[in-house]
Chain A
Amino acid sequence: MDNHFDVIVIGAGAAGLTAGIYLSRAKVNTLILNEGVVGGQMVLTHEIANYPGVENISGYELSRIMKTQAQKFGCTIKSNIKITSLDLTDDLKKITVNNKTTYTAHAVIIATGGRSRMLGAIGEDVFKGKGISYCATCDGDFFQDKEIIVVGGGNSALEEAVSLTKYASKLTIVHQFDHFQALEHYVDEAKKNEKISFIMESKIIEFIGDEKLESVKIQNQATQEITEMKIDGVFIFIGYIPNTELFEGIIELNQWKEIIVDKDMKTNLSGVFAAGDSNQKKYRQVTTAVADGTIAALSASEYVFNKKELSEQALAN
């Protein structure tokens, strides 16, 4: 059967591609189905300088190498597809894409990763690319000598805020809590930068403008007071959410919709494994995703091998 594989991996980020490399090299017939772009969050990283064995590489280059590596071992990769239905509960797993093609496999590895969290404020969709950005290195130079806001209080927000002061004349960090989640080093760097000021315990509730962003409404979370602030641009860095909507009610998820796995990356369903940023875990790095993908691949490989052996024994008897 052309559409039958030993293992289907859902997602082609660092975890999914690693699983594809390990499985295919072990001659496990593997299909990777990917709804987005190959590389996942890795592609969003301009420079990776802490991947062991590689001094310096862009996330895009690293993902291209991983993809080529997986394909060289025989892994089939289908990207920019839409998964329209899936059945993971039976022994034979079934996944339908684009409402027309169904693929089957003995085991599935979920490696769907995460995506940038949006604020959800009024007007956010309207002004994306017209004053609202989620990438400092991409869009920073559009805001030369302009006044901007950075939303967020984690490492990314504070690090990117400092880097954006290369362009901006004035930068305000808006954060919903009265303290930062970022490491002390990032907070210190931001606090000693003369261009940066802070609005704490506050949220942007509305983006306002005509053809491009002109101002924002900010609500103080303690007093509920709303103020309007004229602004040229807003950069949003408020973390990631796991891409697990497809699996709600099927796979066991925690309160943040992250997949719960054991040390072998097994989910609560037999033959279903999960790896990478969509899993419940504390640290999300390319290296940790690669580690998860390796473990999930080895576990899935063992599962498939045992399944096949049992089938052959049954046939022999």
Chain B
Amino acid sequence: MLRTNLPHIESQSEHSDLINNNENVMVCCGRMGPMCIPVYEIMEDLQSEYKNVKFADMDFDIPDAKVIRSLPECRTFQGLPFTIYYKNGKVVKATSSIQSLEDVTAILNEHFGK
């Protein structure tokens, strides 16, 4: 279980519900590690600013996280966290490793707007 203030996805069905029932979704899949924590904190801070986006995290090591680990967009990834942006259930962007506030907001603005 990740110790963040974000909603946690704990199963493939929860993941499916989230991305299929919301237009814009950002999911950060990682551990409580140094490269992941900054991304969770950025997401926590952005929740109030991007009301049109659902933010959530997922523990990289639970079996059901294969729904993210096995995404074609992640096949070359070798750094945590894997951060996935979904629009209408489809992946529009995926990043590997730590991201800055500027990196995240640039992607949110490009694909989701405010």
A residues bordering B, Cβ < 8 Å? 35-39, 43-46, 58-60, 79-80, 82, 128-135, 137-139, 142-143, 211-212, 233
Contacts and interface: CB of A to CB of B under 8 A. Distances in A.
B45 interface: yes
Contact of A80 (B33, B37, B42, B95): B42
B77 A59 contact: no
Contacts of A36: 38, 100-101
A138 B80 contact: yes
Given A38-B41, A79-B41, A80-B45, A129 B97 contact: yes
Contact-residue size bin, chain B (C-beta under 8 Å from the other chain): 20 to 34
Given A39-B37, A138-B79, 20 more contacts: A37-B41, A38-B41, A43-B38, A60-B32, A80-B42, A82-B101, A129-B95, A129-B96, A129-B98, A130-B76, A130-B78, A130-B79, A134-B35, A134-B98, A138-B35, A139-B35, A139-B80, A142-B78, A142-B79, A211-B76
Given A142-B79, A212-B76, A37 B42 contact: yes
Interface string B6-34: 00000000000000000000000001111
B5 to A, nearest CB: 11
B36 interface: yes
Given A129-B96, A138-B31, A60 B37 contact: yes
A45 B37 CA distance: 11
A179 B76 CA distance: 35
Nearest to B43: A80
A117 to B, nearest CB: 15
A142 B80 CA distance: 9
Q: Which interface residue of B31, B34, B35 has the most chain A CB atoms within 10 A?
A: B34
Nearest to B104: A80
Nearest to B96: A129
A316 B37 CA distance: 52
Contacts of A46: 33-34
A37 B42 CA distance: 7
Nearest to A59: B34
Contacts of B78: 129-131, 133, 139, 142-143, 212, 233
